[in-house]
Amino acid sequence: MESLKETSVETAKKLGLLPEEFDKICTLLGRKPNFNELSIYSVMWSEHCSYKNSITWLKTLPREGPHMLAKAGEENAGLVDIGDNLACAFKIESHNHPSAIEPYQGAATGVGGINRDIFTMGARPIAQLNSLRFGNLNNERTKMLMRGVVKGIGDYGNAFGVPTVGGEVYFEDCYNTNILVNAMSVGIVEHGKTVKAISAGEGNSVYIVGSATGKDGIHGATFASGDLHEDSHEDLPSVQVGDPFQEKLLLEATLEVIATGAVVGMQDMGAAGIICSTSEMSAKGYHGMIIHLDKVPTRQKNMEPWEILLSESQERMLIVAEKGKEHLINAVFEKWDLNCTCIGEVVKGEQLKFYMNETLVAEVNAESLVLGGGAPVYKRDYKEPAYFKQNKLFNINEIKVPSDLTVIAKQLASHPNICSRRWVYTQYDSMVGTINMSTNKPSDAAIVNIKNSKKALAVSVDCNARYVFADPEQGCAIAVAEAARNIVCTGGEPSAVTNCLNFGNPYNPEVYWQFVHSIKGMSKACEKFQTPVTGGNVSFYNQSKIGDNDVPVYPTPTIGMIGIISDKNKAATLAFSNAGDQIFLIGSSKNCIASSQYLVSTYNVNNSPAPEFNLDEEYDVQQLIIQLIKTGCVQSVHDVSDGGLFISLLESAMIKGLGFEINSDEDIRKDAFLFGESQSRVVVSVSEEQMDEFISIVADSGVDFTNLGVVTQGEIIVDEDKFGNISEYSKLYQEKLESEMAH
């Protein structure tokens, strides 16, 4: 058998391993590895599986909190207590490279994989979100990728039967080749009904369940740990193929089999397939396994051992069953007409032995393969990029205030990064399961109903990558703050975070500097809001080969956050309610246009600092908003973010076809007042009946606030200048993306 022959350092390099890593493998084994074993180490020691270039810094993130039920990295997903004997399992992950090569299947299997992480723990997925980054919308390739990604997410999620309740879409030139597709899933489970991803108990049976194993996705983890280039389309075998109907059956069977009490441990087969599940479960349980690869159900004949071990075929799980209770496992999966095959057993020690037709084809130590065990750990050099100093040189006084701000207002309302995402979200089923409470009552975060409880979940994904590029530490802190602000503006209290960290090549010192400082900003903000990081995903090598240059994407640390709404009947909406209501700004406006969409799209200025942001001010604003919503003295609540105050007012007004009349601050440039993106600001509307209580609470808080003006029947007036009617802005806002995607 060819795969049993000794390998060399040259083979190792072809599989993405460093020469020193090959030497370490030889030391661990006491010999040179055969091709099966080398393939095992190549995927398990890839960046995608081992986090070898990131784990040192990831460990500095806050991981303790009042609601935590599982520490970061302990389980397949984060787990937090939400009260009423319920817990929330949630996680976000990337599927960037596969989606850039085959957008439909790449995005679809990203959705499938993240949902499996949730229900493998015993939680039923109830909501999905996504964060998507594409290149220039004028490019036909961008439109092709976007159509494929959105359809892949929609088709898989709709068929699986879990609503997509929220997300974000951005367009920047840096994503022209390397798009970003980050998928988040949220599930609910009763306390005490979770299952750990662990192997234990000598003699216990090891089962593979679900779909048969094919050649799709082989070396997918390695593929995800390399750069994209002109010939990346030839790596299509590295892209998995999903079947949502099979996954739906697997979900129901999984939850049913957990209830039998026969399951010792269970893990999804995602990146690196069988070898990842066997090694991680064994290492956690301090046991080994004997696995017979010839017993694995396969879709193709004559698959090599390494192909079976590394396949990333979808809709598969590894189960360790308690000895003597195998019949319970078999009965459940037979009922659901799913493969359920015993392929091995748990043994003493920490060795994994893989056989093919009774021939030992690979023997490795489980602990040597995994993150936190024998996998390499590196702390890379980093240096401040030259552009960072250039950003700091930006001077607002060199930018003239436009003579006609009405033109700017209409341009921003129809900008792809600001306009309605209706073309996207109408392809998703947002209402299946009657879970989504935000469809008919729009809010800053998605509100997800918890059945048989007065509570609801508020969930959000956030990251303005332009801010992070401008200043990674400040920009990433803003991403956390905005996620928290969105949850607070619905009436929720932030609970915990999952993250998806999308960066370029970690061997590039300037990219690694962006990563390190993003982690520092995230830590600072998460500590302030008491939102520990429960886990997530690191995705390096997001860059494109353009000529001889490697061009990384903007650093994009996507923040997924959950919060708890204690009384769902008091959840807030962003929509203005009635003409005549007073409009207030909570927080203070700043003379700032840095990194705003206005600055970039109007003046083509791409180098400026992050918007003004003070973490203490942000926290105080959010605490005030929580109080205002609890006391019921506001009609609407909406944060100020992309596009600035004017866009926030538009978004609140458009829902019911209302308008607004406001006055600007004479101490602040009018373009900065209307379109600047300084942080820590929230727009609220207040009825006459609520006014006294509102004023009393806000005045006592010490937080800056301003009476901007009044809600109108539809006219938009700024400083007595007519800016038009809400109907024309609604048309621009709602139809822009649809018209672009129509041709």
Just list the catalytic residues. 48, 95
Partnered with residue 73 across adjacent β-strands are none
Strands (E), 540-672: 543-546, 549-552, 556-565, 582-586, 636-639, 659-662
Residue 110, phi then psi, degrees to nearest 5: -60, -40
Q: Which of 606, 504, 528, 642 is nearest to 170 (CA)?
A: 642
Q: How many CA atoms lie within 13 A of 439 on its CB side?
A: 14
Would you state the structure tokens that stand for residue 685, as one six-digit string?
């509307």
Sheet strands side by side (includes 582-586) = 636-639, 682-686, 582-586, 705-712, 659-662, 715-718, 721-725
Residue 442, phi then psi, degrees to nearest 5: -60, 145
User: Please, are residues 276 and 49 in contact by the beta-carbon 8 Å criterion?
Assistant: yes
Neighbouring CB atoms inside 10 A of 30's CB total 6
Would you state the structure tokens that stand for residue 217, as one six-digit string?
């996705």
Q: Which residues have C-beta within 8 Å of that of residue 10, sequence separation ≥ 6?
A: none
Q: Which residues have C-beta within 8 Å of that of residue 481, sequence separation ≥ 6?
A: 525, 529, 613, 615, 618, 679, 680
Q: Which of 303, 279, 485, 259 is nearest to 371 (CA)?
A: 279
**125: Cα separation from own chain's centroid:** 15
SS (H, E, C) 695-714: HHHHHHHCCCEEEEEEEECC
Per-residue CA distances from 90 to 259, 413, 456, 482 (Å): 21, 33, 15, 19
Strands (E), 634-725: 636-639, 659-662, 682-686, 705-712, 715-718, 721-725
User: Please, are residues 213 and 297 in contact by the beta-carbon 8 Å criterion?
Assistant: yes
Neighbouring CB atoms inside 10 A of 460's CB total 28
- Only one residue has tokens 């300084």, namely 678
Find the largest Cα–Cα distance for the chain: 85
